[in-house]
Chains A and B, each alone.
Chain A
Amino acid sequence: MSDNLNQQPLITLKNIRKMYYTDQIETLALKDINLEINKGEFISIMGPSGCGKSTLLNMLGLLDRPSTGTIEFEGKTLDKLSDKALAPIRNEKLGFVFQTFHLIPDLRVVDNVALPLLYRPMSNKERRERALNALKIVGLDARVNHFPTQLSGGQQQRVAIARAIVGEPPVILADEPTGNLDSHMGNEIMSILFDLNENRGTTIVMVTHDREQADQTQRTVRVFDGQLVH
């Protein structure tokens, strides 16, 4: 962890505020967030439900835009970029793991995993080979032709992780990846994430409710009422 202190931040959030507007109510989801994520870190984000953890993760993953403030990725300011310009950054630099897996039910496991590669110029054969390799890493190479509904929750989340790593992005953002799993399956998922971080150098930012899991990460960021607390 001490090595990270000397590195240039991979992702920097500066004075991030996020407001949501409904018909009559204005909700401040994030208030003046300043956060740096270094390359190779495994960070957990903790906080009570509704405090803004997922919103913060969405900002880091360029899945949402801040109302005010700046997002930098590898030193470049991104928040003013068009959707078209953000698409390749999401594709090449970021991988996502969601609490509810978000697998496409109409596609087989291997096609779900290959999804990010679809938006890269490569042959179908190469896509398939890389997807099969990613499935091997998460231990699901025997389930390539199954549909998501034919898998257990833990297996579905492993497919989601395979999808997140298939494009070999430097950063994986995981939103409560074990939230829908029992402790045994949760541990399996955590060990895959730790392996990716330790052996592949993947930067991981994980939202979690689980203090035990958070304690295993290199740094924990706490959010309360849309603000970082120390």
Chain B
Amino acid sequence: MLSHYFKMALVVLWRRKFMAFVNIFGIVITLLTLIVGVAALNSGLNPKKAARNTEQYLVIDEMCFTGERNTRNGGVGHQFYTRHLQPMQTPDKISFSTSAHSAVVFQQGQKLNFAIRRTDATYWEIMQHQLLEGRWYDQAELENGQFVAVINESLREQYFAGESPLNQSLRINGQTFNVIGVVEDEPETSRTSFSDIWVPLTTAPSANYQKEWIGDGQVLVWIEDASKRDLMARETQDLASQFEYVPDPTRYEQALFLAKTPLDNVSNKFLGENCTNLSHASTFISVIAAITLVFMLLPAINMINLNVSRILERAPEIGLRKAAGASNRLLVGQFLVETLVVTTIGGVVAFVIAPWVLAFMNNTLIRYGQLSMSLGVFMAGLGLILVFGLLSGVYPAWRMSKLAPANALRGGHRHA
């Protein structure tokens, strides 16, 4: 019996190729989108490599000054950092670095574009970069403004053709640096650690950054003991209440910023909440859940539509099978197997394609991308599709099987 059901399911798929294609295509697209979406979200919530110790550090990379008539927002300025953040007592370590900027490097007359990040020495203690060779710069080199650089492995491959770049010079944006270390590539999705080149903050072409209240900086706060995070939150609030915008105290009265976990970071960015000292993680989770539900509902409705029309079309077959002695249970079993076969084919296709799609994104869309498939999400997506498939495929078949065979043979239009 089961072999007949499988055979029937495959025959139906083969003989109704277009409908089968639409059905399987819908399942594959749904699963792929789910896998890619979760992989992207996961890369933000659980960064890998250097930024992986998310339990220990918080990030302040957005702030907002508000006054009676004025609002200004952006990244952390170095002056605000040295006046208000660096003196904090709770953090075990605190670091200031810029975001990743564009860096132009010339090689044999050819212009190469890379990313450069200027950091202090503590940055290397908080971000756990994997050192491949050499070393990173220390506090003394920072204070002396030495032109030393740490580069990533891709730059080493491209610029130094695989040779050791240590103690070799590299001209970046018109400045010449001595390469002292090489680290692993960091994915572009890791906003706190991504770059191709890291140099001391003090090598900036001008010292103007030291006067900035709002700039393009990020502050990394390392707290060894996670239970001290509440203390940290209170301290940042106290700081905010003591805020005085020295250049013109009447212009801005309040500084709003949040020391964020990766979830806070993704949530506030997603919701466009950059002028706040609150976490919007719970709202974000609700919105994502709603979007996922709507996203899953669309293919489910498509599947229900296809399945209902498929089963209505096969009402005479159901009537015939009943006339030939099939019980309702056996009929429902047949459509159950057909739904399982379609869902399994869609699942297998998605499972095979997903790594290719993620590899394509990693290689072309995201520099040094690390998007990876979550098996749990894949299985949950497959499970949801199976539930929708069963509801949409088996329920109409069960209703149809309840009809008198004579009515089903007529197409199921008249109830017994």
- Please list the residues of chain A having a beta carbon within 8 angstroms of any beta carbon in chain B: 20, 22, 55, 58, 61, 63-65, 83-84, 87-88, 90-92, 94, 96, 98, 102, 104-107, 115-116, 118-120, 124, 163, 167
B325: which of A58, A98, A105, A119 is its contact (CB, 8 Å)? Answer: A119
With beta carbons under 8 angstroms apart, the residue of A55, A106, A119 that contacts B324 is A119
A114 to chain B, nearest CB (A): 9
C-beta contact mask, B389-412 vs A, less than 8 Å → 1, else 0?
Answer: 000000000000010111101000
In the complex, are the beta carbons of B325 and A84 less than 8 A apart? no
Collect the chain B residues with CB atoms within 8 Å of residue A83's CB. 327-328, 402
The interface residues of chain B lying within 8 Å CB-to-CB of A65 are: 404, 416
Q: Which residue of B lies closest to A102 (CB)?
A: B320
Interface residues of B in 285-331 (CB under 8 A from A): 316-317, 319-330
For the complex, is B3 an interface residue (Cβ under 8 Å from A)? yes
- Does B11 belong to the interface (CB within 8 Å)? yes
Q: Of all chain A residues, which has the CB nearest B327?
A: A87
Is B4 engaged at the interface, CB distance under 8 Å to the other chain? yes
The answer on a CB contact under 8 Å between A64 and B317 is: no
Q: How far is the CB of B218 from chain A (nearest CB, A)?
A: 62
Cβ contact within 8 Å between B325 and A90: yes
Q: Given A98-B409, A118-B1, A124-B3, A61–B323 Cβ distance below 8 Å?
A: yes
A sample of 19 inter-chain contacts (CB < 8 A) reads A55-B406, A58-B404, A58-B406, A61-B323, A63-B323, A63-B404, A63-B405, A84-B329, A90-B325, A91-B325, A94-B323, A96-B323, A102-B316, A105-B15, A106-B15, A116-B325, A118-B1, A118-B326, A119-B324
What residues on A are CB-neighbors of B319 within 8 Å? 63, 102
Tell me the nearest residue of chain B to A22, going by C-beta.
B414
Whole-angstrom distance from the CB of A25 to the nearest CB of chain B?
12
Q: Which chain A residue lies CB-closest to B3?
A: A124
Judge if B349 is at the interface, Cβ distance under 8 Å: no
Residue B359 lies at the interface, judged by CB distance under 8 Å to chain A: no
A64 in contact with B416 given A83-B327, A116-B324, A119-B326 (CB within 8 Å): yes
- Considering only CB atoms, which chain B residue lies closest to A87 in the complex? B327
Minimum CB–CB distance for B363 against chain A, Å: 43
Alpha-carbon distance A182/B3, docked complex (angstroms): 38
Main secondary structure of the interface of B (DSSP, over half): helix
- Among A22, A83, A105, the one with the most B-chain Cβ atoms within 10 Å of its Cβ is A83
| Interface flag for B8 (CB, 8 Å) | yes
Q: Are B325 and A92 in contact (CB under 8 A)?
A: yes
User: B12 at the A/B interface (Cβ < 8 Å)?
Assistant: yes
Count chain A CB atoms within 10 A of each CB in B402, B407, B409 and give the residue with the most.
B409
Kindly state the separation between the CA atoms of A96 and B326 in the bound complex, as whole angstroms: 14
How far is A23 from B249 in the complex, measured between Cα atoms in Å? 79
Nearest A residue (CB) for B402? A83
Task: List A contacts of B317 (CB < 8 A).
Answer: 104
- A55, A84, A90, A92: which contacts B323 (Cβ < 8 A)? A90
Which residue of the partner chain B has the closest CB to A120?
B325
What does the 1/0 interface line of B191-221 toward A look like (CB < 8 Å)? Answer: 0000000000000000000000000000000
CA distance A91 to B319 in the complex (A): 13
Question: Are B328 and A88 within 8 A (Cβ)?
Answer: no
Please state if B324 and A64 are interface contacts (CB–CB under 8 Å). no
Chain B residues with Cβ below 8 Å from A87 are 322, 325-327
Other-chain contact of B8, A84, A102, A106 (Cβ < 8 Å): A106
**A96 contact set on B, CB distance < 8 A:** 323-324
* Residue interface bits B1-40, CB-to-A below 8 A is 1, else 0: 1011000100110011000000000000000000000000
What are the nearest 7 A-B pairs in CB distance? A91-B325, A64-B406, A63-B406, A119-B325, A116-B324, A58-B406, A63-B405
Q: Which of B3, B320, B409, B414 contacts A115 (CB 8 A)?
A: B320
Cβ–Cβ < 8 Å partners of B15 in chain A? 105-106
Q: What residues on A are CB-neighbors of B327 within 8 Å?
A: 83-84, 87, 119
Min CB–CB distance B18 → chain A (angstroms): 14
Contacts A61-B323, A64-B416, A102-B316 known; list 20 others, CB within 8 Å. A58-B404, A58-B406, A63-B405, A63-B406, A63-B409, A64-B406, A83-B402, A84-B327, A84-B328, A90-B323, A90-B324, A90-B405, A102-B409, A104-B320, A106-B11, A106-B12, A107-B8, A115-B320, A118-B1, A118-B4
Closest CB of chain A to B330's CB: distance in Å?
Answer: 7
B331 → chain A closest CB, angstroms: 10
**Nearest CB of chain B from residue A34's CB, rounded to whole Å:** 21
Interface centre among B4, B15, B324, B326 (most CB of A within 10 A): B324
Contact residues of B between 319 and 378, Cβ < 8 Å to A: 319-330
Beyond A20-B414, A102-B409, is A88–B325 a contact (Cβ under 8 Å)?
yes
Cβ contact within 8 Å between B404 and A91? no
Residues from chain A with Cβ under 8 Å of B330 in the complex: 119
**Which interface residue of B15, B404, B406, B414 has the most chain A CB atoms within 10 A?**
B406
Closest chain B residue, CB of each to CB of A91: B325
C-alpha gap A58/B327 in the complex (Å): 18
Shortest distance from the beta carbon of B254 to any chain A beta carbon, whole Å: 69
A116 to B320, CA, bound (A): 10
CA distance A133 to B85 in the complex (A): 92
A119 partner residues in chain B, CB cutoff 8 A: 324-327, 330
- Given known pairs A106-B12, A118-B4, the reply for A64 and B404 (CB within 8 Å) is yes
Nearest chain B CB to A26 CB, angstrom units: 13
Chain A residues whose CB sits within 8 angstroms of the CB of B1 once the complex forms: 118
Closest to A105 in B: B15
Q: Which A-chain residue is minimally distant from B11 (CB atoms)?
A: A106
Q: Which residues of A are found within 8 Å of B11, using beta-carbon distances?
A: 106-107
Least CB distance, A53 to chain B, in whole angstroms? 13
Interchain nearest-CB distance for B12 vs A (Å): 5
